[in-house]
Structure 1
Amino acid sequence: MNYEFDFKAVLDYWPLFVEGAWVTLKLAFFATVLGFVVGTLCAIARTSGPAWLRNLVAAYVELVRNTPLLIQSYFLIFGMASIGMKLPILVGATIALVVNIGAYTTEIMRAGIDSIQRGQLEAAECLGLSRLQVYLHVVLRPAMERVYPALASQYVLLMLASSILSSVGVEELFGISNRVQSDTFRNFEVFVTLGIVYLALSLLMRAGFWLLNLVLFTRRRKLGTPI
């Protein structure tokens, strides 16, 4: 075996890796924010909504959780385009990620909401809090605090799963690496570099969620509970 490693040939493409990493982070950011909103609203609907709405949300969750992200991406990007609903590739990719992570967020937040004791809700009602105030301060905030580690881990996994979107033409980190690989024919060096960059992005996201945890949950900070 006379293979000679040449990382310099790969690292010469560092501007492309930076560009791909930036696209990956943008996709992860918008999908995380919008996915959390969608998932939280669906969790509320599934725990407190009418029967038809609970069934509709349950069907959405089961459909998404039991089909691959790649198939969902093909449907939302190419399938919708075939019936005349053409979207920019990054918009379609973001929607696919939001639809996917929204289903998982729904189940995580539902578990947090179900953990709130009925007595706390009754106490809030006795204090004269409105329904919106009860949900914001007595239900959603404590529920999110309890499931925050699971949410943070799920969103990091979402960022890593975004590599699948290279299959539908998104020029994110993995898609960029395919270009570099075809130009340099340095498969091993490309994938080692790619793994290091993904590891750095994962650690960056975990650090961001840790800082957000310090801002949102002062009680968790006082108790020293990790993410």
Structure 2
Amino acid sequence: MTYTFDFSALLPYWPDFLWGAVLTLQLSAVATVAGFIVGTLCAIGRADGSPVVKAIVAAYVEVIRNTPLLVQVFIIYFGIATLGIRVSANLAAMIALTVNVGAYTCEIVRAGLQSIHRSQVEAAECLGLSKPQIYWHVIVRPAIERVYPSLTSQYVLLMLASSITSQISAEELTAVANRIQSGTFRAFETYIVVGLIYLVLSFVMRGAFTAFAQAAFTRRRKLGTTL
């Protein structure tokens, strides 16, 4: 049995592919920023918070990291609806992705915080820096700089994992592909195209993160090292 490829059947749908890619990037961008904030705050709380805060953050991290993202998406989308609160599929997807990546960000950033030697903090205290100044300039920024490659990889994986939200009809790239292949009956060609688009999006995100690193981590740039 032979199979004849026919990509021409997909040409009329290029605006749909483009819209799906744009929405995928939007979901990923919002979840990345929000997840980074949530994860960093949780990492700080787990490192230096009260026992209650540490226990809450630890429970959050363990629950999220040990349950499938798809289940989390379903709980948020259908769970909120059972409480009488109606949210769109895109908003539910955004919340689920943020909650998920926040837990992973917490552990990555916490590893960075633990890598900062106590002597650096003591030196900053001797210089008379305030606690917020010490935390930002001596602990948080250097910690994030050290784990930035890991964060970059995690957020690219987040973009790829956003395809799961197609199960609640969030109109991202995979959901668009599902709709197109059901109308054209060219599933093989459709998913090849989508796979290539995801590959391009991955390179775009990595390029954006590299550009951000060049602007944010000036010390690395002056030393001639890369992230």
Task: Please indicate the TM-score interval, normalised by the length of the shorter structure.
Answer: over 0.9
Match of 1:182 in 2: 182
**2: CA distance, partners of 1:226 / 1:9:** 44
Q: CA deviation at 1:143?
A: 0.1
Match of 1:83 in 2: 83
Tell me which amino acid in the other structure corresponds to 2:151: L
**What SS class does the counterpart of residue 13 from structure 1 fall into?**
helix
Deviates more, 1:76-85 or 1:102-111: 76-85
Match of 1:97 in 2: 97
Tell me which amino acid in the other structure corresponds to 2:106: T
Tell me which amino acid in the other structure corresponds to 1:208: A
State how 1:49-198 maps to structure 2 within 5 Å.
Answer: 49-198=49-198
Q: CA deviation at 1:79?
A: 1.1
Match of 1:45 in 2: 45
**2: CA distance, partners of 1:17 / 1:222:** 41
**What SS class does the counterpart of residue 86 from structure 1 fall into?**
coil
Query: How many percent of aligned residue pairs carry the same amino acid?
Result: 57
Q: Which runs of 5+ in 1 are unaligned?
A: none
Tell me which amino acid in the other structure corresponds to 1:144: I
**2: CA distance, partners of 1:175 / 1:102:** 24
Tell me which amino acid in the other structure corresponds to 1:168: I
Tell me which amino acid in the other structure corresponds to 1:63: V
Q: Deviations over 1:1-59 (max 9, x none)?
A: 23211101113210000000011000000000000000000000000000110011000
Give the aligned CA root-mean-square deviation in angstroms.
0.9
Q: CA deviation at 1:127?
A: 1.2
Tell me which amino acid in the other structure corresponds to 1:188: F
**1: CA distance, partners of 2:2 / 2:10:** 19
User: Normalising by the residue count of structure 1, what TM-score does the alignment of the two structures yield?
Assistant: 0.98
Q: CA deviation at 1:92?
A: 1.2
Q: CA deviation at 1:74?
A: 0.5
**2: CA distance, partners of 1:226 / 1:175:** 36
Match of 2:11 in 1: 11
**Aligned residues between the structures:** 227
Deviates more, 1:136-145 or 1:212-221: 212-221
Q: CA deviation at 1:128?
A: 1.2
Tell me which amino acid in the other structure corresponds to 1:157: L
**What SS class does the counterpart of residue 170 from structure 2 fall into?**
coil
Q: CA deviation at 1:161?
A: 0.1
**1: CA distance, partners of 2:63 / 2:47:** 19
Deviates more, 1:164-173 or 1:3-12: 3-12
**What SS class does the counterpart of residue 3 from structure 2 fall into?**
coil
Tell me which amino acid in the other structure corresponds to 1:156: V
**1: CA distance, partners of 2:35 / 2:180:** 31
**1: CA distance, partners of 2:3 / 2:37:** 50
Q: CA deviation at 1:83?
A: 1.4
Match of 1:212 in 2: 212
Q: Deviations over 1:139-193 (max 9, x none)?
A: 1100000000000000000000000000011010000000110011111111110
